Amino acid sequence: MWTRYQIFILCYLTTEVCMEKRSFSQRQVNPEANLTRTHSILEGTRLKRTVFEGHFCSHFGCCKDRDDGCVTHFDEAHALCYCDKFCDRENSDCCPDYKSFCQKEQEWSPHTQSWFPEGCLRDGQHYEEGATIKENCNSCTCSGQQWKCSQHECLVHPELIEYVNKGDYGWTAHNYSQFWGMTLEEGFKHRLGTLPPSSMLLSMNEMTAPLPAATDVPEFFVASYKWPGWIHGPLDQKNCAASWAFSTASVAADRIAIQSNGLYTANLSPQNLISCCAKNRHGCNSGSIDRAWWYLRKRGLVSHACYPLFKDQNADHHACAMASRADGRGKRHATKPCPNSIEKSNRIYQCSPPYRVSSNETEIMKEIMQNGPVQAIMQVQEDFFYYKTGIYRHVASRNEEPGKYRKLRTHAVKLTGWGTLRGAQGQKEKFWIAANSWGKSWGENGYFRILRGVNESDIEKLIIAAWGQVTSSDEP
């Protein structure tokens, strides 16, 4: 009995498989012959869709590949029609609106961008075609629903700032708004501005301060503590590449105040140098410190109050607004009033020829302690722009070409003191105190500390100083 039942089940399954194969063959070869069979199998589906009779694919949607459930009744032909991709073949059994609706629908499929409005998205905001936005130092334009961005190397790199701050390097980095949007090249080109030292400067004989060899040098020294009111604070060169002028004028002003014992304490005008020291200089496009000191000796400078900085320091040309003549003793006297009409004193201040201080750490300290601040020429790395506080040392750089921008990296600053503190990894570290020319919002109120005694960033390689020309004839 059980064997007969098994044979019956096997025969039934064999019959069903054969009939299904025949059905597939009939729809593929002769859709009319397949009509009755298909109608029986899909009766439930057809009945559910009778409410849509005569409306075809536009109501039911389109189906991919072969889908026998993707069917409706075609009354005019007394037949069934299909909206699946299989219907569109040599013997078509597609519904009347298959090509007009389904093929058109494919053109507007979700895989195309036509569902979205024209333009581009950025941070959840929609921008029209052709719109341009700025991302740090790069410009991005919406073109063909895609952003096309320039690939400049930016001065500010948040990842590098984060790297410095997460490490124990002894100093803190900061993202300064005045540097945001500048390329790295623009930073070197516009925020520094001292030409590499000439062979004449590098060949100068080093001088040492005339102090006894056994003179004690304190562990901590700040020039403004010894000479209060005579040491001038940092100015802001902005995007005028003229650290050659700012540092020279500031060192000269300090030394004239010290040498005159406080008689002349005016800060000297870097703009006077930028606009009037015409030979071998390019104003806000870099200049040489040896020429700056020559001008101070031969022509002299007026005060910063008399000849203030121009608001537009990057104007194509600013003619020199001062003139002077020499008396029989070589002393210069102004022949024009101050460009700043409010200031009445147009006194000319001059210096002696510059001299080079020994690169020895102790000799630099003795020179500052006895005669006042000195000028230092350093090489700037990109992480220096981020300095906020602490004892600076070069940590990291993104630039893959170390030699790139080599001629643009030279910067002139003013050394005003030194000290010793615990720095990186809790170690006791020696440092210089230096005045920069990037305004008081940068660094430690315009100043920075940098490792001392190891020639960090070439800070001790070339130290320049000069005497102020102060005689009895200068008495008021």
Q: What residues are labeled active site? A: 411, 436
Torsion of CA 247, 250, 253, 257, to 10 degrees: -120
Pairing of strands 410-422, 374-379: antiparallel
Q: At what angle do helices 243-259 and 289-298 cross, to 10 degrees?
A: 40
Helix or strand holding residue 40 (H, E): helix 35-41
Distance of alpha carbon 358 from alpha carbon 465, whole angstroms: 11
Cβ-in-10-Å burial (0-12, 13-18, 19+) of 368 comes to buried
Strand partners, 236: 438
Would you give the DSSP letter of residue 205? P
What is the DSSP code string of 47-101?
A: HHTGGGTTTTHHHH--BSS--TTSEEEEGGGTEEEE-BGGGSSSS--B-TTIIII
Give strand ranges (E) for 320-475: 324-326, 332-334, 355-357, 374-379, 387-392, 410-422, 428-435, 447-451, 462-465
In angstroms and rounded to an integer, the radius of gyration of the C-alpha atoms of the chain is: 41
Answer whether 138's CB lies under 8 Å from 151's CB. yes
For residue 282, the SS3 value is coil
Q: Angle at CA 258, nearest 5°, toward 252 and 259?
A: 85
